[in-house]
């Protein structure tokens, strides 16, 4: 039986994050074009945003009392629809649609407050009418009617205060949610960049050379792999919705059956190491690809070294992978 020649231990070429991201931009554009137009989350979010903005627009008081929230909602909706048309990432479309819906809700709260103030004015007008009528009718009856009108005015003031408080609470909650979402997205991006992951047509990917992970023809993890796998486990624990596909790859030396089995064992070894570090097994899939997906020529030692690797492919925030390959 021929052996897979993993013994070539030439030092791997150091590639910067910037270079990897630059090389991945065309593939990233293809990913966005494939995903952005088919995301059910983004379509649902856009539909909700359109409905909220439309409801606000048809309100007769919208233009004169809630002009700014209305315009902000329209702008955010337009940005979300343009992001959808431009094939931007689904989470960006969802985020912009969310902002549009929140601005529309703020506008509705402002209108509710305006109506409450109008009720106060109407109640005060009725009170004045009652007082005028009191001059012509029995004074006791007039006082009773005035008291009733005053109670209505007080109730209207309470409604106005409640509407104002609700509007403030809605705006604050919207700002907090937007801030939290932005912070979480920023933290996730920073963690992946720290791991030197790159965006590819198959999703966000981190490549680990077999010379770092395993001895030649072996499937036992070397101590040098501890730091990288610990950081991957920490990232997975901070992103509970993310799933991970671990793929083992070999060069073309050796038989198909030998390379398939070796790559599967290596992928499973990485999976076990992550489980031991606290990652839920249901979030990990280990696959042996053998020699079927080379990233370089197998006609040179350098090319074969690049092909001997383990790739960690991260899903999106909904646990979906860009490709099932």
pLDDT of residue 29: 45
Among candidate residues 162, 191, 220, the one where a domain is terminated:
191
Question: pLDDT for 88-108, tens place per residue?
Answer: 999 999 999 999 999 999 999
Query: 56 and 170 share a domain?
Result: yes
pLDDT of residue 324: 57
d(CA 204, CA 226): 21
Q: Which token pair is 40?
A: 């059910």
- Which band of pLDDT confidence, cut at 50, 70 and 90, is reported for residue 169? confident
* Residues 210-226, mean pLDDT to the nearest whole number: 84
Q: What total number of domains does the chain contain? A: 2
Q: 285 lies in a domain?
A: yes
Query: 125 and 64 share a domain?
Result: yes
Q: How far is CA 36 from CA 29, 30, 31, 43, 90, in A?
A: 10, 10, 8, 9, 5
Q: What percent of the chain has pLDDT over 90?
A: 47
- Which band of pLDDT confidence, cut at 50, 70 and 90, is reported for residue 180? low
Query: 168 and 306 share a domain?
Result: no
How many other C-beta atoms lie within 10 A of the C-beta of residue 270?
Answer: 27
Q: 292 lies in a domain?
A: yes
d(CA 182, CA 187): 9
Query: 261 and 114 share a domain?
Result: no
Domain extent for 237: 17-28+202-314
Query: 213 and 307 share a domain?
Result: yes
- Which band of pLDDT confidence, cut at 50, 70 and 90, is reported for residue 292? very high
* Residues 175-200, mean pLDDT to the nearest whole number: 69
pLDDT of residue 66: 87
d(CA 234, CA 39): 28
Query: 153 and 59 share a domain?
Result: yes
pLDDT of residue 130: 87
Q: 138 lies in a domain?
A: yes
Query: 182 and 240 share a domain?
Result: no
pLDDT of residue 55: 95
Least confident of 24-33, 40-49, 136-145, 237-246: 24-33
- Which band of pLDDT confidence, cut at 50, 70 and 90, is reported for residue 14? very low
Q: 143 lies in a domain?
A: yes
Query: 214 and 140 share a domain?
Result: no
User: With helix as H, strand as E and coil as C, how does 99-131 read?
Assistant: HHHHHHHHHHHHHHHHHHHHHHHHHHHHHHHHH
Q: 324 lies in a domain?
A: no
Question: pLDDT for 249-267, tens place per residue?
Answer: 999 998 999 999 999 999 9
Query: 234 and 306 share a domain?
Result: yes
Q: How far is CA 262 from CA 1, 21, 78, 273, 287, in A?
A: 13, 30, 52, 17, 11
Among candidate residues 191, 211, 230, the one where a domain is terminated:
191
Residues 6+ apart with CB under 8 A from 133: 142, 145
Q: Rounded mean pLDDT of the chain?
A: 83
């Amino acid at each position: 039986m021929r052996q897979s020649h993993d013994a070539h231990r030439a030092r791997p070429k150091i590639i910067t994050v910037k270079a990897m991201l630059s090389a991945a931009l065309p593939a990233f554009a293809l990913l966005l074009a494939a995903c952005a137009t088919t995301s059910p989350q983004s379509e649902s979010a856009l539909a909700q945003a359109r409905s909220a903005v439309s409801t606000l627009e048809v309100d007769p008081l919208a233009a004169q009392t809630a002009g700014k929230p209305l315009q902000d909602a329209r702008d955010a909706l337009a940005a979300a629809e343009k992001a959808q048309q431009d094939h931007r990432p689904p989470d960006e479309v969802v985020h912009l649609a969310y902002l549009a819906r929140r601005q529309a809700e703020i506008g509705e709260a402002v209108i509710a407050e305006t109506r409450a103030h109008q009720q106060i004015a109407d109640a005060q007008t009725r009170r004045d009418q009652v007082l005028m009528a009191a001059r012509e009718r029995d004074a006791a009856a007039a006082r009773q009617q005035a008291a009733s009108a005053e109670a209505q005015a007080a109730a209207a003031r309470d409604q106005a205060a409640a509407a104002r408080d609700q509007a403030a609470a809605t705006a604050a909650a919207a700002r907090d949610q937007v801030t939290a979402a932005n912070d979480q997205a920023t933290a996730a991006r920073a963690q992946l960049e720290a791991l030197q992951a790159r965006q590819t047509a198959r999703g966000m990917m981190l490549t680990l050379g077999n010379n770092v992970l395993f001895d030649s023809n072996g499937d036992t993890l070397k101590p040098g792999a501890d730091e990288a796998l610990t950081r991957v486990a920490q990232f997975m624990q901070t992103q509970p919705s993310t799933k991970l596909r671990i793929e083992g790859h070999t060069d073309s030396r050796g038989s198909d059956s030998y390379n398939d089995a070796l790559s599967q064992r290596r992928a499973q070894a990485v999976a076990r190491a992550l489980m031991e570090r606290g990652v839920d097994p249901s979030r990990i899939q280990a696959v042996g690809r053998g020699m079927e997906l080379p990233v370089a020529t197998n006609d040179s030692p350098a090319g074969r070294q690049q092909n001997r690797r383990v790739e960690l492919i991260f899903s999106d925030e909904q646990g979906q992978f860009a490709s099932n390959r």
